[in-house]
Chains A and B, each alone.
Chain A
Amino acid sequence: MSASTVTPESRERDVSLTAPAKDHAPRILSRDPADFPVPTGREEEWRFTPLRRFARLMAGAPSTEHLTWSSETPVGVVIDELAADDPALLGLPLPVDRLSALAVANADGAVRVSIPESAATEPVVLRLHGDSAEALVWAHVVIDVRPFAQATVVLEHTGSAQYGEHLSVIVGDGATLRLVHLQLWDGDAVHAAHVSARVGRDATFRSFQASLGGSAVRVLETVEYAAPGGDAELLGIFFSKAGQHLEHRMLIDHAVPHCRSNVLYKGALTGDPAAGEAGIARSVWIGDVLIRAAAVGTETYELNRNLLLSQATRADSVPNLEIETGEIVGAGHASATGRFDDEQLFYLESRGIPADVATRLVVRGFFAEVITRLGLPEWESLLQDRLDSELGFEAAGVDDEADE
């Protein structure tokens, strides 16, 4: 965050400056992309990102192209389009970097999913598909969960595109949202997403990210709490293969008392050692948690574990915890990146299980802790199957029916 400064003269009406911590430079919050300098790659929040792959998005040209949408909309859920000047867009959490501001500016309005308390609780499913890696697409999606509503929203991304996404999430007082955000792209897609969530009083936000496809994916999740009693759980899995860059960053801003946050991310990487630099599988996980002086009674924990399945891998994992008050319930973080455990493989093989099946069992087991917390069996098995195919397994194996 060191390089993201802005002079007082450049401040405009909808630019606000916050001073999150003494040690940190002010963070820019703005809807105007011009307020964000074009990153050079030396900035803290861009230094892990392959900017060349995001160059087309970063250039920020307007585009009228869209992903194709299909949706499953339970009774009572309303999907509508908001014009760029709709006042409903003004109160949303602001973009925090150039790509998220570009998405808001270029999307020219937003698609809003409104879920009232009276709505049916089946999942809202939005299937977004891109037809071409050449297509430049901007989107602003707003998920507005009204007070006391219980909602599940699944956004599934498939196909290919150069996709700049801003996803605003409002979880009303006493409401619960389970958000499932799936990057199941083809191998040439580029996707930059900013999920900005505001969690209301005694509200619960449960997020599940899965990045299993795409050439370069960068998902930024920011969480703020509108009032005490909020609970945010950010879960995620990713599987990076040769040439892929999968980046997940989160910034959880505890500025009000008695809120909770819990982060659990697991990633696996397997590159192609024979392909040199192009064969490197890459992942980045950055977990920033800020507990401001006012946020007494905060409880937070974040954990990232990465499993390296081959030599040609690079996983960066950086948890950051800044605490400005000691009056908290608890705060902790852990990060571990390790090689595949050959002893596990030997143990399974010594029971007659072929090496490939054993590998799949171990990797499945590694991800199971996260996937089973999704609580949506249909999507859990879809992700398992996708993970299997990432591992090179086509058909279901002998172990599939064992737990029936």
Chain B
Amino acid sequence: MATLEIRDLHVTVESDGGPREILRGVDLTVRAGETHAIMGPNGSGKSTLAYSIAGHPKYTITRGTVTLDGEDVLAMTVDERARAGIFLAMQYPVEVPGVSVSNFLRTSVTAVRGEAPKLRTWVKEMKTAMEGLSIDPKFAERSVNEGFSGGEKKRHEILQMELLQPKIAVLDETDSGLDVDALKIVSEGVNRVAAAGTVGTLLITHYTRILRYIKPDFVHVFVDGRIVAEGGPELADALEAEGYDVYVKAAASA
């Protein structure tokens, strides 16, 4: 069973005044079959954590380790991480003009699985996955994310997650900008993947709304670049009622 271990992770980004530390020692273990919610206010570094795991070049790891089943993730290129089983559903999926969704998905699936899926079974697989997320089949011929609505982009992200079957899925504010119907569809997709018990899910969110549809096993409160509180689903209910203020104040006075 897959295990992602993050130990004492420190990350900086370049800013006008030199490197700025965003993550200040993150410790987190995500195992296959578990769903973790990372919750925190804007600017707390949640997305930085997501992008650092995926390997975005903008972020510099200054200390700490990230391993997947003991393998050094930080030593891997971005595409190697994906092929090792790490998936990042992005908050703002990128438009790639002129590259069709079907071409993109097949190229990606071929890279991650190590061989091209047989054309006949592939077409059926893609069609079924798209139907499950209420994605119009016409999207297969459209350019990746180009002209997609916010909800369509998020459904397209989860479509990729379903097809790539990652070991560790990081969902970066997948719920943001979604209406209730889209949120349900997207959540069902995430739950379908999770039901197999082979994926560890890291659900990054600002709001508790998505937790009505995706039940976390663990909730982590993320403030000022580190995890400041941990608990079960009941912690999310407390955050819903009381907000982040108490944690933000505690971090500021620490």
Chain A residues lying within 8 Å of B103, measured Cβ to Cβ, are 361, 399, 402-403
Nearest to A356 among chain B residues (CB) is B79
**Cα A169 to Cα B97 with chains together (Å):** 34
Chain B residues lying within 8 Å of A353, measured Cβ to Cβ, are 79, 82, 107-108, 111
Contact B82 A352 (CB under 8 A): yes
Contact B96 A350 (CB under 8 A): no
Chain B residues lying within 8 Å of A404, measured Cβ to Cβ, are 119
Contact A352 B119 (CB under 8 A): no
Chain A residues lying within 8 Å of B81, measured Cβ to Cβ, are 350
User: How many residues of A sit at the interface, in one of the four size bands?
Assistant: 20 to 34
Known contacts A346-B94, A353-B79, A398-B110; A403/B100 CB under 8 A: yes
Contact A346 B78 (CB under 8 A): yes
Number of B positions contacting A (CB below 8 A)? 37
Contact B164 A352 (CB under 8 A): yes
8 Å CB interface, A347-366 against B: 347-355, 357-358, 361-362, 364-366
Would you call B88 an interface residue if the criterion is a C-beta within 8 Å of the partner chain's C-beta atoms? yes
Point out the residue from A346, A349, A361 that lies within 8 Å of B99, measured CB to CB.
A361
**Cα A366 to Cα B144 with chains together (Å):** 12
**How would residues 90 to 116 of chain B score, 1 for a CB under 8 Å from any chain A CB and 0 otherwise?**
100111111110111111101110001
Would you call A401 an interface residue if the criterion is a C-beta within 8 Å of the partner chain's C-beta atoms? yes
Nearest to B105 among chain A residues (CB) is A402
Chain B residues lying within 8 Å of A403, measured Cβ to Cβ, are 100, 102-103
Would you call B65 an interface residue if the criterion is a C-beta within 8 Å of the partner chain's C-beta atoms? no
Known contacts A342-B57, A346-B57; A365/B112 CB under 8 A: no
Would you call B83 an interface residue if the criterion is a C-beta within 8 Å of the partner chain's C-beta atoms? yes
**How would residues 97 to 123 of chain A score, 1 for a CB under 8 Å from any chain B CB and 0 otherwise?**
000000000000000000000000000
Chain A residues lying within 8 Å of B95, measured Cβ to Cβ, are 344
**Cα A217 to Cα B160 with chains together (Å):** 43
Residues of B within 8 A of A (CB): 54-57, 77-79, 81-83, 87-88, 90, 93-100, 102-108, 110-112, 116, 119, 143-144, 160, 164
Residues of A within 8 A of B (CB): 341-344, 346-355, 357-358, 361-362, 364-369, 398-399, 401-404
Taking A348-B108, A349-B79 as given, write out 9 further A-B residue pairs in contact, using a Cβ cutoff of 8 Å, ordered by the A residue number.
Answer: A344-B96, A347-B93, A347-B144, A352-B112, A355-B79, A358-B79, A369-B97, A369-B98, A403-B102
